[in-house]
Amino acid sequence: MRKISSGAILFAAFGALAHAQTQQELLRDGNSGSTDNVLTYGMGYHQQRYSPLRQINKSTVKRLVPVWSASLANEFGEQGQPLVYNGVLYAANVKRVVAIDVATGRQLWMTALEWDPAVARVVCCGLSNRGVALYNGKLFVGSVDAHLRALDANTGKEVWKVKIAEWKEGYSITSAPTVANGVLMTGMTGGEYGVRGFVDGYDPDTGKHLWRRHTTAGPGEKGNETWPAGDAYLRGGGSTWITGSYDPELDLTYWGTSNGGPWTAAARPGDNLWISSVIAFKPKTGELVWHYQWTPAETYDFDGNNENVLADIMVDGVKRKVLMHADRNGFLYTLDRTNGKLIAANPYVKVNWAERIDLTTARPVETDVAKRLRAGEKVEVKPRWTGGKNWMPMAFNPDTGRLYLAMLEETSVYQLNKELPVYKAGERYMGVENTTAPRTPGEPWGYFGALDPLTARPKWKLPLMDLPSWSGMLATAGGLVFSGRSTGEFLAIDEDTGSIVWQFKTGSGINAQPITYTHKGRQYVSVLSGLGGGTSAKRETEGKVLPGGSVWTFALMPD
Amino acid sequence: MNRAKIILTASLLAFAQPASAQDAFKPEQVKSGSETYARHCAPCHGPRMADPEGAPDLRKFPRDQRERFLTSVSKGKNSMPPWGDLLKADEIEALWAYVATGGRN
C-alpha cells in the first residue's frame, strides 16, 4: 500500500515536471527557444509572430494538407491564439478551454467557462477570448464575467479563481493573460460602459492580487491635470483588452489602452492621459515608466490597444530598440521603447482626421474634419471607428525588416450627440451616433500588405475586393506569411510578392491568430476557424458565412 | 365555464395583435421605445434600426411576431444577451412599439 502511494506520488511529480514550464522557457520563446513550443501570446514576448521554421516554404507549401481538425462547439467566434507545450495544444474561446494532443488531434481535457448570459450586455463587440497563458504547470485564462482562473495544465482542473472586477459595472476580460518576471498580468475591457481601465498583477501560484496599474491618471498622479476637475477619470475608459508585450532586459511591459469614456470627448475636456496610449511599466510593481498617447483627447473610438511589436532595427544607421504599432487611428508608429520617444509615424491607410503626426511635438495635427466633428457637426471620418487596423495582430520578420498586416479601408459617418450621456453602471456610455458611409463600388475593403515600419511604404499590397480580413498574421523563415479570410480560406502568402501561393477552406470564417511549431521534427501550422468575436465581420459576411468554432492543423504530406 | 371561455378568447385575441394594430401604438410609447433603443440596442442593431453592426436588421422583423420579439429581448437569443432583468416589461413593450412601427408614429 505504502509502496503504491509513493509510486503514484513519484509519477505525479514526473507528470508535473513534464509540464513545469519555466520563466526561462518563456524568455526563450520565439527567441532561440525550442520550436516545439509556443508559450506566449504573440509567439515571443516581443509579439513578432515570426518563426525561424522553414520546412514549409515556397517550394514545399503545395504539399501542405490538413492533418486534423477538432470542433470547439462555439458559435460566438474564435479569435484566440493557441499555445503549445510538450506536444499539447491549448486553445480557448469564450465558452471553454481545450487541451489537444498535437500528434492525433484528440482531446485530452476540456474545462468549461460558465458565465451569466446577461454578461453579454457589457461586452460591446463580440463575446471572445483571445487565449491563455502557461507557467509552472498552470494554465491561466480570463473570462467575460471578469474572472481569472488558474487550471492544472495536466488535467484542466481549477486550482484557483479570482474576480478581478464586477461585470455588472461593465468590466470583462477578452484578452489572454501573460506572465512576465514571475507576475501574472491580465487586462480588461469595458470602454463602452464608463469603466476605469487597468492592468492587474497576480501571484501565479496563489492568485493573490499584487497591484493595479490604472490607465486613467487619478488625483496626485502626473497626468491627472489632463482630466477635467471632478471624477471624470473614474469613468474615463482606457481599457486594456490586448495582451502587453515585454522586454526582459529593460524589464518593461507595454500595454495599449482603449478609447475614452464616454466616446464623446465633450464630456471630458483635455488630453485624458493615458487613454488611447501605450504605457510602459514594471511587471513586478505596476510602476509606470513612460507613456505615449496615440490620440490625445480621443473621441473617435480609436482604441490604442492592439499589439506593440518589439524589435531591434536600424534607424539612420543606428540599431535602436523600438516598439512598432499600427494604430486604429490610421498611423503606423515606431517608438524608442526605452523612453517612449517618437521615431516615425506615417499613415498606412486613408486618414482624414489628422494631417500628420508632428515629429517635434509628437502629436497629431488635426484637420478641419476633426475640428468640425468636435464642434458637433456630422462628418465622414477615415478610418472608420473600427480603425485602419483593429485587434488582429501583425507579424514582423526580422530578416526582411517588414511588417505584415491586414488593413481596413472604411469610412464612418460620425456625430457627437448634443446631450452628454448619463452614466449608469453597466450600461452603454457613449454619446455618439456612428454609422458606416456607403462604399464606393470597385474600391477594396482593405489590403493584406508588407510595410516598412519607418515609412509605412508597402513592398506589396494585396487588395481585398470581396470582404476585408480580420485575421492575424504569422511570418516564417520559409518565405511565407499565413493569414485567413472571413470566408474561411486559410492562406499562405509569398512574403516577397504578396501572391497567394496556397489556400485551404476551413469550416467557418478565420478571424484568429495562426501559429507554427514542430512536433517530432515535423512542422505544423494551427489556426482557429469560427466567424465572430467581433461585430463587423458578422455585418460584412451577412448571409455568406455561418459561425462554428474548430481548430485546424496542417503539415506537409510526406513524399 | 362560458365566462372562462370568453376571457380565454379575449386574452388570445389580445395576444395575437394583427399587423394593423401598429396604428394603435401611442406616440409616447414609440418615443420611449426609441430612447431605450438608442441606449441599449443601437450599438449592435444600428442607429434608428439602419446600418446594423452584426446584429439582425430589425426593420425586417415580422410585425405579427410580438411574442417572439418580447421573449427574445427579455430572455436573449443567439449573441443577444437577456434584457429582462434590466428593462421593465413596459419598456420592452415600448421597444416593440418602436420596432413594429418602424419608428414612425
Burial zone of A515 (CB within 10 Å; 0-12 exposed, 13-18 middle, 19+ buried): buried
Reported confidence tier of residue B6, pLDDT bands at 50, 70, 90: low
Asked if A169 is an interface residue toward chain B (Cβ–Cβ < 8 A), one would say no
Asked if A474 and A495 touch (Cβ cutoff 8 Å), the reply is no
Q: Does the distance separating the beta carbons of B44 and A436 come in below 8 Å?
A: no
Amino acid type, A487? T
Query: What pLDDT, on a 0 to 100 scale, did the predictor assign at position A13?
Result: 41
pLDDT tier at B11, thresholds 50, 70, 90: very low
Using pLDDT thresholds of 50, 70 and 90, give the confidence band for residue B12.
very low
Check pLDDT > 50 for residue B1.
no
**How many residues does this entry show for chain B?**
105
3-state secondary structure of A102: coil
pLDDT of residue A533: 87
Of B51, B81, B82, the CB nearest to A435: B51
Using CA coordinates, name the residue in chain A closest to B83.
Answer: A118
Q: Is A76 on the interface with B (CB under 8 A)?
A: yes
* Omega prior to A109 cis, within 30 of 0: no
**CB distance A407 to A347 below 8 Å:** no
Position A6 scores a pLDDT of: 42
pLDDT at residue A313 in the model? 98
User: Would you state the pLDDT for residue B24?
Assistant: 81
pLDDT (tens digit per residue) in A353-372: 999 999 999 999 999 999 99
Which H helix or E strand runs over A147? strand A147-152
Separation of CA A499 from chain center: 26
CA gap A247, A255 in Å, rounded: 12
Q: 3-state DSSP call for residue A255? A: strand
pLDDT of chain A, 559 residues: tens digit per residue: 444 444 344 444 444 444 568 999 999 999 889 999 999 999 999 999 999 999 999 999 999 999 999 999 999 999 999 999 999 999 999 999 999 999 999 999 999 999 999 999 999 999 999 999 999 999 999 999 999 999 999 999 999 999 999 999 999 999 999 999 999 999 999 999 999 999 999 999 999 999 999 999 999 999 999 999 999 999 999 999 999 999 999 999 999 999 999 999 999 999 999 999 999 999 999 999 999 999 999 999 999 999 999 999 999 999 999 999 999 999 999 999 999 999 999 999 999 999 999 999 999 999 999 999 999 999 999 999 999 999 999 999 999 999 999 999 999 999 999 999 999 999 999 999 999 999 999 999 999 999 999 999 999 999 999 999 999 999 999 999 999 999 999 999 999 999 999 999 999 999 999 999 999 999 999 999 999 988 888 889 989 999 999 999 999 998 7
The DSSP bridge partners found for residue A152 are A138
- Chain B residue with Cα closest to A438: B51
- Measured in residues, chain A has a length of 559
Per residue in B55-81, pLDDT (tens digit) is 999 999 999 999 999 999 999 998 899
Q: Tell if the CB–CB gap between B51 and A119 is shorter than 8 Å.
A: no
DSSP line for A324-364: EEE-TTSEEEEEETTT--EEEEEESS---SEEEE-TTT-SE
Cell triple for residue A94? Answer: 469564450
**CA-closest candidate to residue A272, choices A300, A324, A301, A237:** A237
pLDDT at B4: 52
Neighbours of A350 (CB within 10 A): 14
Structure-block grid coordinates of residue A178: 501573460
Question: pLDDT value at position A32?
Answer: 87
Nearest Cβ partner of A536 from B42, B47, B53?
B53
For testing contact with chain B, the best of A169, A511, A539 (most B CBs within 10 A): A539
Count of CB pairs separated by less than 8 Å, A with B: 53
Check A434 against B54: CB less than 8 A apart.
Answer: no
Chain B residues within an 8 Å CB radius of A76: 79
**What does the pLDDT look like over A42-101, one tens digit per residue?**
999 999 999 999 999 999 999 999 999 999 999 999 999 999 999 999 999 999 999 999
Cβ-defined contact of B86 to A118 (cutoff 8 Å): yes
pLDDT at B13 over 90: no
Most B CBs within 10 A among A75, A76, A116, A121, hence the mutation to make, goes to: A121
Residue A559: the pLDDT is 73
> Angle at which helices B89-100 and B27-36 pack, to 10 degrees?
100
pLDDT beyond 90 at B14 = no
B86/A539 Cβ within 8 A: no
Cis peptide leading into residue B82 (ω within 30°): no
Q: Going along chain B, which residue ranges are E strands?
A: none
Residue B17 has pLDDT above 60, yes or no: no
Question: In B, which residues are within 8 Å of A535 by CB distance?
Answer: 44, 53-55
Distances (CA, A) of A87 to A19, A133, A137, A230, A523: 11, 16, 14, 54, 12
Distances (CA, A) of A350 to A277, A326, A383, A387, B79: 21, 13, 6, 10, 32
pLDDT at B23: 57
- Contact criterion met (CB below 8 Å) for A276 and A259: yes
Task: Give the Cα separation of A174 and A129 in Å (integer).
Answer: 5
CA distance A191 to A302: 11
Helix axes B89-100, B66-75, angle to 10 degrees: 130
A436 part of contact set with chain B, CB < 8 Å: yes
Please name which of A143, A183, A180, A150 lies closest in space to residue A164, comparing C-alpha atoms. A143
- pLDDT interval class at B5 (50, 70, 90): low
Q: Which three cell numbers stand for residue A49?
A: 509572430
Name the one residue in this structure whose C-alpha cell is 476633426. A370
Q: What is the 3-state secondary structure (H, E, C) of A107-171?
A: EEEEEECCCCHHHHHHCCCCCCCCECEEECCEEEEEECCCEEEEEECCCCCEEEEEECCCHHHCC
Out of B55, B82, B86, closest to residue A117 by CB: B82
Dihedral over alpha carbons A256, A258, A259, A261 (to 10 degrees): -130
**Which backbone phi and psi does A332 adopt, to 5 degrees?**
-100, 120
Whose grid coordinates read 530578416? A399
Q: Does A181 touch chain B (CB under 8 A)?
A: no
Helix (H, G, I), strand (E, B) or coil at A4: helix
The residue whose grid cell reads 501565479 is A204
Q: What is the ipTM of this complex?
A: 0.84
Q: Most A CBs within 10 Å: which of B36, B37, B53, as the mutation test of the A interface?
A: B53
As annotated, the active-site residues of A are 301
